[in-house]
Amino acid sequence: MTTPPGPDATSDATSDPASDPASDPAPDPDATFEVDDHEWLGQADWIIGGEAAAKARAQGRYAAYVLALLALVYGFPFVQATFRTSDSATLRDQLSSFAAYGVGVAAVVAVFVAVGWAGRFRGPVVPPMPWIDLVLAAPIDRALAVRRWWRYAVAGALFVAGLGGLTLSGGLAYAGVVGPLVIPIAVVGGLVLGLAVVRVWLWAQVRSWPGPDRGPSLLWRVDDALRELHAESLRQHSANTSTLAGSAMTGNLRTARLTFARPVRRSRSARLRPGRPVPVLVRRDVLGLRRQPSSLVTGLGLGLLGSVVLAWALSQPAAPGIAVPLALVPLYLGYGALAEGLRLQADNVGTPSLIGSGPLEEAGAHLVVPTLLTTALLGGAYAVAAVISTRGVDVGALASIGCVLGALAGGHLLAAFRGSPTIHPGPQVLIAWYLMPAVVVLVVGSLLPLLLRAGAPSAAGVAVWLVVGLIAWGLHRVRRLTHLHRW
The CA-based angle 197-336-477, given to 5 degrees, is 140
pLDDT digits (tens, 9 = 90+) for 288-306: 888 888 888 888 988 998 8
Asked if residue 351 has pLDDT above 50, the reply is yes
Confidence band (pLDDT; 50, 70, 90) for 9? very low
The 3-state secondary structure of 301-346, one letter per residue: HHHHHHHHHHHHHHHCCCCCCCHHHHHHHHHHHHHHHHCHHHHHHH
Q: 172 and 79 in contact (C-beta within 8 Å)? A: yes
CB atoms within 10 A of CB 273: 7
Residue predicted with more confidence, 484 or 400:
400
**Residue-level pLDDT at 12:** 46
Q: Is the pLDDT of residue 16 over 70?
A: no
Buried/exposed code over 388-408 (b: 16+ C-beta within 10 A; e: otherwise)? eeeeeebebbbbbbbbbbbbb
pLDDT in the model for residue 48? 67
Q: Which of 101-105, 231-235, 307-311, 359-363 has the lowest mean pLDDT?
A: 101-105
CA–CA–CA angle 477, 253, 412 (5° rounding): 40
pLDDT for 377 equals 92
pLDDT tens-digit readout, 316-331: 776 666 778 888 989 9
pLDDT digit string (tens) for 106-160?
888 888 988 888 888 888 988 888 878 777 777 777 788 888 889 889 999 999 9
d(CA 316, CA 307): 14
* Contact status, residue 122 vs residue 244, Cβ threshold 8 Å: yes
CA distances from 1 to 6, 10, 21 (A): 15, 19, 32
Mean pLDDT value across the chain: 79
What's the pLDDT tens digit per position in 198-227? 999 999 988 888 877 778 888 888 888 888
Write down the pLDDT at residue 36. 62
Is pLDDT of 283 > 80?
Answer: yes
d(CA 452, CA 270): 45
Contact 375, 405 (CB under 8 A): yes
Task: Report the predicted TM-score, pTM, of the whole model to 2 decimal places.
Answer: 0.75
Burial 146-160 (b: 16+ CB within 10 A, else e): bbbbbebbbebbbbb
